[in-house]
A and B are shown apart, each in its own frame.
Chain A
Amino acid sequence: MSAQAQTALPSYTLNCRMNQEAAALERLCQVVRVRGFQISRMSMESADDYLDIALTLSGSRPIAMLRSQLEKLHTVVDVGLQEQAASARAVSA
């Protein structure tokens, strides 16, 4: 396999609060994937009627676009952008 150039993508942490509903996590992950981001870390806590999810993800598209798409999900109560690292993911052969 030929060597690939190092690719560094911006990394973000999103905190999502979702209603406890069928397929809530699947919906979240599907939107992240379809909109061109990759999840590198994920944690979830169940609290009362909610799911609190922290996602560390990377992607080349604007994070505001992903955030607005997640906010469209009926099950999503709130999406917060926690921090932005300079770069996170490096892909090499």
Chain B
Amino acid sequence: MNGAQHILEAFHRHNIHTVFGYPGGCIMPLYDALVDDVGVEHVLCRHEQACALAADGYARASGEIGVCIATSGPGATNLITGVANAYMDSIPMLVITGQVPSGLIGTDAFQETDILGMTLGIVKHSYLVDDAEALPAIMEEAINLAQSGRPGPVWIDIPKDIQLTEIEAPAAATCAQPDPLCPEISDALAMLYSAKRPLLYSGGGVSLGRAEDSFREFANTSALPDVVTLKGIGNPGKNNPHSLGMLGMHGSRAANKAVDECDLLLVIGARLDDRATGKLDGFAPNARMIHIDADAAEINKLRPADLALRGDLNRILPAFTEALKEKPLAIAHWQKQCRTWHTTSGFQAADNEEALAPITGPAFIRQLSRITPDDTVIACDVGQHQMWVAQHYEFDHPRHHLTSGGLGTMGFGLPAAIGAQFANRRGTVINVTGDGSFMMNAQELATIRRYNLPLKLIILDNQCLGMVRQQQELFYNNRESHINLDDNPDFVAMARAFDIPALHIERTDQIRRGIETILAYDGPMLLHVAISREENVWPIVKPGASNREMIDENRRTSTSKEHVA
């Protein structure tokens, strides 16, 4: 068995059956081995960046490791944005690249790049294989490392000669997963019981730790008012009466007010990202903080925790839940206050009753949320549409909302949707994108067609880079700079060129029929939605400002103090 065959053998051992890749010179031995392997489905994307982002989307939707493959040089460098995206959002990913033959490394050979050196800052770990006999053990370690603890991308750079070398070493034994810490929670419970205004703050760590059920039970049992980060959307479920939605720069006033007023913040699987906290000095100023996370390096990184618990959420949260079943929290007044805030200051977007009125982003997303099945996966791109989805689509599970939270990668949505569709071939998967983002990986329409994926594409087209335009309007004296996209192609014709049917709508009375048409179609379909260029995402916090300083549609800056009962 040569090195390339050992790679595939490791895939089989770890139940990796779908990989995303693009062949080239120095990875050809692996592609040659794939010819004889029927157990691994290789998905050919049309750009290496899309391979990495599709692997990312596959991992987010399935909870399994995503795998992408590329050749050396430009193939490897094209992966970088996708891998950085996975790193920022802690997505388990295995990246395999070919490298020039060992003897040519360091000679500036054709398609040689020092990809190991280039990517040190965006991987959980990486390897340059310099000994063929070590390859089986490296594969084993890498696959486990990518998924253990705080997940992340692990990159293996494999010289072409190593892929061809016959290897005597047996397949490595499966590594034991590290035993998580078993924390003492009695102190945390004491803090929780003594708090008058405790607030639950959860992030992407819940689903990354596969702790969705444990979290849901804890949230329901505790009945704590809760806020979520962008990546935590869906954690509490769509029917939790205590949920206040997303906090932060484009969070609801209700969520930001609750953070501002709480006296205890219970942070679960969140890293206190600046888009969520705003200016740290003004974040939860009256609160003590309990921080629960799998990654010790997140504890005390940005704000000191009064109490920290590091470990597996599936061990920690049930202990909380059991204690709270015995002795519930007495926070009725605080719960009522938060519900009032949610009613008066939650995300609101009135449906436009005027049939011929132009479509607004929020109204469209609300309709989409009502019409689509509960288990629909929405893969967003980055920009205004991303925030409208976060604000107005009601997600029942965090794995149904795929969004580039940390890196904010325009072009993420389409390949991520492809990955999600491979994770669930029969499920409803929708890429909600903007006209700017769509063009960043539009070549992947060919991938959709090739595999006849039934995914649906919705372009909210405002003919500009809307989020940049909005910030230029609000924070740069309305001096628009290079945001105009009014020379976009005809997206309907473009989809049809890839043999994907498409539909255009522009009026409010066309929304329902447009959505129902693409959902009913047995195959891929694109819905092009014309929206106003001038529409903004509200509310907004100026970057670097405190979340108290939210700006609303009337350009009115108000603090949460005004609304405190």
Q: Contacts of A26 on B, CB cut-off 8 Å?
A: 117, 120
Closest beta carbon of chain A to B121's beta carbon, Å: 6
B120 pairs with A64, CB closer than 8 A: no
B296 touches which one: A21, A62, A68, A75 (CB < 8 A)?
A: A68
| A34 at interface, CB cutoff 8 A | yes
Q: Contacts of A75 on B, CB cut-off 8 Å?
A: 125
Number of interface residues of A (CB under 8 A): 17
Number of interface residues of B (CB under 8 A): 17
A22 pairs with B116, CB closer than 8 A: yes
| A82 at interface, CB cutoff 8 A | no
Q: Contacts of B297 on A, CB cut-off 8 Å?
A: 65, 68-69, 71-72
| B299 at interface, CB cutoff 8 A | yes
A30 pairs with B120, CB closer than 8 A: yes
B301 pairs with A23, CB closer than 8 A: no
Q: How far is the CA of A64 from the CA of B299 in the complex (A)?
A: 10
B116 pairs with A62, CB closer than 8 A: no
B116 pairs with A23, CB closer than 8 A: yes
Residue of A nearest to B302 (CB): A65
Closest beta carbon of chain A to B286's beta carbon, Å: 23
Closest beta carbon of chain A to B150's beta carbon, Å: 8
Closest beta carbon of chain A to B76's beta carbon, Å: 15
| B516 at interface, CB cutoff 8 A | no
- Which of chain B's residues 117-141 have a Cβ closer than 8 Å to chain A? 117, 120-121, 124-128, 130
Q: Majority SS of interface residues in chain A?
A: helix
Closest beta carbon of chain A to B512's beta carbon, Å: 49
Closest beta carbon of chain A to B105's beta carbon, Å: 11
A65 pairs with B300, CB closer than 8 A: yes
| B295 at interface, CB cutoff 8 A | yes
Q: Contacts of B167 on A, CB cut-off 8 Å?
A: none
B301 pairs with A65, CB closer than 8 A: yes
Q: How far is the CA of A21 from the CA of B134 in the complex (A)?
A: 12
- Which of chain A's residues 1-53 have a Cβ closer than 8 Å to chain B? 21-23, 26-27, 30, 34
- Which of chain B's residues 299-326 have a Cβ closer than 8 Å to chain A? 299-301
| B145 at interface, CB cutoff 8 A | yes
The 5 tightest CB contacts between A and B, nearest first, are A74-B125, A68-B297, A22-B128, A72-B297, A69-B297
Q: How far is the CA of A30 from the CA of B121 in the complex (A)?
A: 7
Q: Contacts of B130 on A, CB cut-off 8 Å?
A: 22
B300 pairs with A74, CB closer than 8 A: no
B300 pairs with A22, CB closer than 8 A: no
Q: Contacts of A27 on B, CB cut-off 8 Å?
A: 120
